[in-house]
Structure 1
């Protein structure tokens, strides 16, 4: 099945919220993400007011989304539905963000989220600092992706 990207529409909200809860509950079953629904709604509203972009990935339904601010070069939220994890949806979404932020982009990820850390490492993100999650208090790592602007030497001529 082909996954396509498109801009978020207000009618996507119920399905997007359910996707976010399912994805994050799978990652952190010790946190009640249903109770954080209002926080996500406020984050979306505030971010959109300040020019952030929301892109959804869809196949048979919403497969994932990314919320990012191209002006601040900040990836705020990304989530992939559990049924679509491992199918390249996150890579597709992050690829869109990289194209929209060609000078680079940063994000914060919980230090204990090994799967996310490994994914971002594969996507070329590097450690840029440490902090803590304002909601949970959990330690975080700030990661940054920047295009490799260093010119590479030409390969030796073939003989």
Structure 2
């Protein structure tokens, strides 16, 4: 593995970011990869950036290893997705540290209730559960967390 660099995402990378997002999300076992899901994510990435996301990638010698989407005004870590080929290498902890540099006093996030590995990790990282609620779009139960300095 070469030197990993966290940098802002470029528009020409949005399709590759959508693919990474799908592969990471599906690695949880909560959904299966599909052309439909990939199309939805390809449409969502530029829409979310236009809506306020600060979008970053972890660049591993030209290959995308992870994505990070933050809504700065809302103090919200929206997406932290690690490519399956790069999972288990502490990239999540690195990106969470980067997020805390950008949002040093408070960070909010949500996590699918069925993604136990993720929400248990966030709890170990100091996030406190605020509420559990069904997502109005897809109905999946979501756990809402907050970290405060």
TM-score over 0.5 (shorter chain):
yes
Deviations 1:36-68 (A, max 9, x none): 334334433333233320110121410101111
Alignment coverage as a number of residue pairs: 147
Deviations 1:118-154 (A, max 9, x none): 211122111011111334312111011111xxxxxxx
Equivalent pair of 1:22/1:81 in contact (CA under 8 Å): yes
1:53-68 correspondence to structure 2 within 5 Å: 53-60=54-61, 61-68=63-70
**Displacement of 1:32:** 4.5
- Secondary structure at the aligned position of 1:92 is classed as helix
2:127 — aligned with what? 125
- Secondary structure at the aligned position of 2:27 is classed as helix
1:14 — aligned with what? 15
The answer for unaligned runs of 5 or more in structure 1 is 148-159
Equivalent pair of 1:127/1:141 in contact (CA under 8 Å): yes
Residue from 140, 145, 148 that aligns with 2:147: 145
The 1:29–1:102 alpha-carbon spacing in structure 2 relative to 1, beyond 3 Å, is closer
Q: What is the TM-score of this pair, normalised by structure 2?
A: 0.87
Equivalent pair of 1:24/1:33 in contact (CA under 8 Å): no
Q: CA RMSD in A?
A: 1.8
Q: What is the TM-score of this pair, normalised by structure 1?
A: 0.82
2:116 — aligned with what? 114
Deviations 1:90-129 (A, max 9, x none): 1111211111111211111111211101211122111011
- Secondary structure at the aligned position of 1:63 is classed as strand
**Displacement of 1:7:** 0.3
The 1:85–1:10 alpha-carbon spacing in structure 2 relative to 1, beyond 3 Å, is same
Larger Cα-atom Rg = 1
Within 2, Cα distance between the matches of 1:71 and 1:116?
24
The answer for unaligned runs of 5 or more in structure 2 is none
Residue from 74, 93, 109 that aligns with 1:72: 74
Deviations 1:9-36 (A, max 9, x none): 0111232122111111111354455423
Higher strand proportion: 2
- Secondary structure at the aligned position of 1:117 is classed as helix
